[in-house]
Amino acid sequence: MEKTFTVRPADRMQQLPAQFFAGLVRKANEQIAMGHDVINLGQGNPDQPTPPHIVASLQQAAVNPLYHKYPPFTGFAFLKEAIAKRYKEDYGVTLDPETEVAILFGGKTGLVEISQCLLNPGDVCLVPDPGYPDYWSGVSLAGAVMSFMPLRADNAFLPDYGAIAPSELDRAKLMFINYPNNPTAAMAPYAFYEDTVRFAEKHGIVVASDFAYGAIGFDGQKPVSFLQVPGAKEVGVEFYTLSKSYNMAGWRVGFALGNREVIRLLNLMQDHYYCSLFGGIQEAAATALTGPQDSVAALRATYESRRNALFGALHRIGWEAKPSAGSFFAWLPVPAGYSSASLADRLLQEAKVVVAPGIGFGDHGEGYVRLGLLAPEARLEEAVERIGKLGLF
């Protein structure tokens, strides 16, 4: 009798959360394969190219033999100095490039790694709900437990620290916050970060501030960095990425900034995974951070113009929602009689418009769908017009 060889995965592979966006992409691709003109507003992938001066920097750097060798494990000093310079200019925050900056393979990597660095099995991590699903991935890999902090419209989509059970606080070692927020597009005021630092100090909880959309605030409002608050570096770190600010999503460049011990642990973890980024990409990233910032301002203006066009079109069909304060998303309530998933399915099947169901971001995301401002204004308006023809509102 022939024997069958069986691969037995580790338990942690069975415990990983399902990749929510994989199913979204599959459904959209099925419609595209059938020849339909699909407007995909369901993902968070920037649609503009990387600014030419950054591309040119990589092209020039690629021929440098120095970068054809292994880079330093924690990255080149010039890149860490560049991010420290940008934070000083943009937020007035002083960072030691060597001890308070860790280079990451994109912000997502650090958001997963920090749970592995800090959490033991059974420890509690406070996670926003709705929130970015990859927070869940790191907690799962660490064998830890999530305690969800509801983000509700009546509290401006900010967590209510006073509502967290004392039993959860006693076991919590890490918490994630994220503003400008994905998926709700909310912004957080300076006072919220002051409250967060006091809360973290009182309960001994490390703060992980996901600042991926830090460059994208609307109506003249500049997003606040967690690190601007006195005491922030004592209780946590901030994650920043070039993906959104400079349209460099495919380049995979991010940073963790702040608490020296957390930065040391992230670097130690990465010593076992990687040998830092290709030097040419590090040089191009430094060019992005230290060069002219006109492209960032122009990108922010583009997203604001798109937001205005989208919400103007939504108003015309009767889909009322509060305009996005930041990020490149819109967070819209579903009409009566629908769940977020059933609405998303109908919009795809009948309007050929992809939106992300709020339930994919957590239980408190139910009742909403997320749209990305990641198409030209005319295309956003066309998507809303298609939806309007369904007579949902």
The pLDDT score that the predictor gives to residue 162 is 96
Share of the chain above pLDDT 70, in %: 99
Average pLDDT, integer, range 292-298: 97
Report the side by side order of strands in the sheet with 368-372: 329-333, 368-372, 356-357
Token pair of 298 as six digits: 């122009």
Give per-residue burial for 13-34: e unless 16+ CB within 10 Å, then b: eeeeeeeeeeebeebbeebeee
> How long a stretch of residues is the chain?
393
Q: Which residues contact 196 (CB under 8 A, 6 or more apart)?
A: 161, 177, 207, 226, 229
2 occurs within a structural domain: no
Residue 21 has pLDDT above 80, yes or no: no
Same structural domain, 56 and 36: no
- Report the chain's mean pLDDT, rounded to a whole number: 96
28-41 confidence digits (pLDDT tens):
899 999 999 999 99
Domain assignment present for residue 5? The answer is no
DSSP 326: B
- The answer to whether residue 3 is domain-embedded is no
For residues 237 and 367, state if they share a domain. Answer: no
Q: Are 100 and 214 in a shared domain?
A: yes
Q: How many folded domains does the chain comprise?
A: 2
Task: Say if residue 39 is in the same domain as residue 57.
Answer: no
Q: Are residues 195 and 341 in the same domain?
A: no
| E-assigned strand segments in the chain | 39-40, 101-104, 124-129, 145-150, 172-178, 206-210, 236-241, 254-258, 329-333, 353-354, 356-357, 368-372
* Residue range 151-178, pLDDT digits in tens: 999 999 999 999 999 999 999 999 999 9
When pLDDT is averaged across residues 326-347 and rounded to a whole number, the result is 97
Question: Torsions phi, psi of 146, nearest 5?
Answer: -95, 135
205 & 86 share domain: yes
| pLDDT exceeds cutoff 80 at 1 | no
243 and 379 belong to one structural domain: no
- What's the pLDDT at 24? 81
Q: Report how far apart, in Å, the C-alpha atoms of 71 and of each of 67, 75, 89, 278, 313 are.
A: 7, 6, 27, 7, 49
Give CA–CA dist 220/243, Å, rounded: 22
Same domain for 261 and 320? Answer: no
Last residue of a domain, one of 249, 274, 290: 290
Tell me the pLDDT tens digit for each residue of 64-122. Answer: 999 999 999 999 999 999 999 999 999 999 999 999 999 999 999 999 999 999 999 99
Domain that holds residue 129: 52-290
CATH code of the domain containing 360: 3.90.1150.10
Single pTM value for the model: 0.95
Q: CATH number, domain at 270? A: 3.40.640.10
337 inside domain: yes
Contacts of 42 (CB under 8 A, 6+ apart): 21, 24, 28, 344, 354, 355, 356, 370, 371, 372
207: nearest Cα among 227, 188, 190: 227
Q: Are residues 236 and 188 in the same domain?
A: yes
**How would DSSP label each residue in 256-315?**
EEE-HHHHHHHHHHHHHH-----HHHHHHHHHHHHS--HHHHHHHHHHHHHHHHHHHHHH
Q: Do residues 35 and 183 share a domain? A: no
- 89 and 26, same structural domain? no
* Secondary structure (3-state) at 68: helix
CA distance 252 to 265: 20
Query: Would the pLDDT of 2 be above 90?
Result: no
Of 237, 270, 290, the one marking the end of a domain is 290
Q: What is residue 14's predicted lDDT score, i.e. its pLDDT?
A: 84
Last residue of a domain, one of 268, 290, 312: 290
The answer to whether residue 202 sits within a structural domain is yes
Q: Residue 6 domain-assigned?
A: no
Q: In the chain, how long is the greatest CA-to-CA distance?
A: 73
pLDDT at 252: 96
Cβ pair 241, 28 in contact under 8 A: no
Q: What would the two tokens of residue 210 be? A: 């996901």
| Within a domain: 143 | yes
**Mean pLDDT of the region 42-67:** 96
Residue pair 14/141 in contact by the 8 Å Cβ criterion: no
Q: How much is the pLDDT for 305?
A: 98
The verdict on 78 and 162 lying in the same domain is yes
